[in-house]
Copies of this chain bind each other. A is one copy, B any other.
Amino acid sequence: MAAPKTAVSDAKQERVRRRRRQVLQAATRLMQVSGFHSMSMQAVADEAKMSVGLIYQYFGNKEDVLRAVIVDILEDFRDEVPAALDAAGADPVKRLSNGFRVFCQVVDAKRAATVLTYRESKTLTPEGLEQIKHLELETTEPIRQAVRDGVEAGVFADVDAELVVHNLLMCAHGWALKHWHLSEYLTLEQYIERELAMLLASIRPAG
């Protein structure tokens, strides 16, 4: 009796996952274009090729969809950035460089989504806000650790790791937030190279 129940349960969970993904992708597409408030639930349903009623079986309300969209985006960051660090070996400089490089690349791939998180975060409930703050910290934690390691090892000056990571984050996000300006004279690769040079210069041990 347990087996079929679980099988059914699995199938159900799989459908739930699929449906939620459909909705999130549709909502993300729409919000990137015109923001949360201009997106109607009917439009989400159309884009997701399902009925409005069905969305409400998988999400409590419209704000719940927003929260899920933003969390979804930030989870992508959290999954991809640390993973890149694992592949970067032990050298703090390399880990930091790789972290920044990957971060910028992910931001570039999800530029509209990145801007979206800045645009709509304040619309969330306090709980939602807490969740996304936690996710951001999780995402950057491995880089933070790399900076601490580098400081300890003496390859970096005695800088505030928290602040270095903050700068690195703003710098990566900056590529999306100020893309209208930056893209006029820089490619992503140029941006990464030059910013990285300045970033490393800013924390190299005093000569």
Residues of A within 8 A of B (CB): 35-38, 115, 118-120, 122-123, 133, 137, 157, 159-160, 162-164, 166-167, 169-171, 173-174, 177-178, 180-182, 185-186, 191, 194-195, 198-199, 201-204, 207
Contacts and interface: CB of A to CB of B under 8 A. Distances in A.
Nearest to A182: B166
A177 B118 contact: yes
A202 B195 CA distance: 9
A122 B119 contact: yes
Nearest to A133: B180
Task: Specify the main secondary structure of chain A where it touches its partner.
Answer: helix
How many of these chains are in the complex? Answer: 4
A198 B122 contact: no
A174 to B, nearest CB: 4
A178 B159 contact: no
Given A115-B122, A194-B160, A201-B201, A178 B170 contact: yes
B133 A198 contact: no
Given A119-B122, A122-B115, A201-B202, A166 B160 contact: no
Given A119-B122, A137-B181, A201-B201, 20 more contacts: A35-B122, A35-B123, A36-B37, A115-B122, A118-B119, A118-B177, A119-B119, A159-B198, A160-B194, A163-B191, A166-B182, A167-B171, A167-B174, A169-B178, A170-B171, A170-B178, A199-B202, A201-B203, A202-B202, A207-B207
